[in-house]
Structure 1
Amino acid sequence: MSSLLLDGWSFTAGTAEWTTVFPDGCRDLVVCQPRGAAPFIFATELDDIPRRVAVEPGDRFIGFRLRPGVGVKGNLSRLAPRDSAEEVDWAVLQDVLIECPQVRDALTALKHAASTSEAARRAGVSTRTLQRLVVTGTGRAPSWWRRLARVRRSAALLAATGATQAELADAAIDAGFSDQAHMTREFRRWLGVTPGQVRRGVPFADVLQAKGYQ
């Protein structure tokens, strides 16, 4: 697997439906083939809040989830397969991707840092340099990345363990939230659900554990 690729996925809609896409810190290269039409390719942007996407029966999607910080350049339309989404060539798609090692290192340092200054020390750069690298390279502030990683880690843990109501307060503190109310606000803001809903196993709990920035 390429160092630029975090995961691959595919989906074929069986019925007309809505699906929810959650913020995961990743951009995806997606080859979409509507039923009875030619395939086309597009790159997603970073999501700040849950996004609802409508699909029709027979719509086919093949996606390549890029590692956090990997960017997309150039014209994608020329890379679309001619007849079928399955014909997409990952080796060809890599030609439109770009990654800055310094941005990659900054995002790695931010994952578990309690502050931007702590992340800068881990990355071996000044706080101002880290801020500039991250904003220029991703379009998002360091605090955006720290908050996203924290809420995704917490959601994945709650979905996997099914913590009791009494344990949510402890889980909030362990994850670095100031208290349970703070954790609830962050879950609502990023995921559109409460920690309790994730704990009880909402229908998309498995999606919250998908690979992403955490």
Structure 2
Amino acid sequence: MDSAFLQWSATSPQAGKTLVLPDGCHDLILRVPAAGRPHWLAVALMDRAEWVHSQAGEQFLGFRLMPWAQVDKTAIVNALQQRSCPDPAEAKALIVSGLRLDHRLAEALQALAQAPSVSQACRDLGVAERSLQRLVSGQTGRTPSYWRSLARLRRSARALQGQALLPWSELAAQQGYADQAHLCREFRRWLGCTPQQFRARPDWLAQACAPGFEG
């Protein structure tokens, strides 16, 4: 069951902003300011990269839930906010006790991540496109095309770390994009930058390689 969610932590070394990449997961996060009261928050699925501002010494503790792991995040956050002292162990126990895993959804998302099209994913799963749409959109609030595009984007972003000299046109072909322009459009749509700009940022590359929704 632990594979359905991951625990992570981070500390902001200085005041500034960090680009947080879409990873197909939803999070429960404990935010501990350098001065001030800690608070829990529920973070939904992201549709594009977002800048998060933080202060020097601010700490973050999070639980990253895979898209097929369902839990009442609002109820958990409300329960945790009543405590005078944050307790990560209690948060983990609440997640485990309320976790619901949808294996049909996990199988569908994996097929979408690997298939060259939504239609092919339907054929691989042996289901009608409307049935897949109903399952995926109903459980995640995002369309099958969202998940297929996100998986391809994440693969492409991770590929930049080990293939610094690969021509953009070749990378595009490897990852199933129509051409280099298509690759660039998808990077701008999801990440707000070009592949070249992304490759120049080791911190973004490292984040792209962190566990999340994998293709």
Report the TM-score when normalising by structure 2: 0.88
- Structure 2 counterpart of 1:78, which letter? A
User: 5 Å matches for 1:97-112?
Assistant: 97-112=99-114
Aligned alpha-carbon RMSD (Å): 2.0
SS for the counterpart of 2:114 is coil
SS for the counterpart of 2:147 is helix
Q: What residue in structure 1 maps to residue 134 of structure 2?
A: 132
**Match for 1:90 among 77, 89, 92?**
92
Q: How many residues align?
A: 211
Whole-Å Cα distance in 1 between the matches of residues 88 and 138 of structure 2?
Answer: 34
* 1:163 CA drift (Å): 2.8
Q: What residue in structure 2 maps to residue 187 of structure 1?
A: 187
Q: Is the 8 A contact 2:80 2:86 kept in 1?
A: no
Whole-Å Cα distance in 2 between the matches of residues 28 and 59 of structure 1?
Answer: 18
List gaps (5 residues or longer) in structure 2.
none
* 1:36 CA drift (Å): 3.8
Identity %: 39
Q: 1:211 and 2:211 equivalent?
A: yes
- Structure 2 counterpart of 1:204, which letter? W
Q: Is the 8 A contact 1:23 1:50 kept in 2?
A: yes
* 1:8 CA drift (Å): 2.1
- Structure 1 counterpart of 2:133, which letter? Q
- Structure 1 counterpart of 2:177, which letter? F
My pick for the range that moved more, 191-200 or 50-59, is: 191-200
Whole-Å Cα distance in 1 between the matches of residues 187 and 102 of structure 2?
Answer: 30
List gaps (5 residues or longer) in structure 1.
none
My pick for the range that moved more, 202-211 or 46-55, is: 202-211
- Structure 1 counterpart of 2:174, which letter? D
- Structure 1 counterpart of 2:26, which letter? R
* 1:77 CA drift (Å): 1.8
Q: Is the 8 A contact 1:39 1:82 kept in 2?
A: no
Q: Is the 8 A contact 1:27 1:44 kept in 2?
A: yes
- Structure 2 counterpart of 1:43, which letter? A
* 1:87 CA drift (Å): 5.0
* 1:37 CA drift (Å): 3.5
Report the TM-score when normalising by structure 1: 0.89
Deviations 1:88-146 (A, max 9, x none): 44122223433322211111111111111211222232211111100001011000110
More helix by share: 2
Whole-Å Cα distance in 1 between the matches of residues 70 and 207 of structure 2?
Answer: 23
CA shift in 2, pair 1:201/1:57, >3 Å: closer
My pick for the range that moved more, 44-53 or 80-89, is: 80-89
Whole-Å Cα distance in 2 between the matches of residues 26 and 87 of structure 1?
Answer: 21
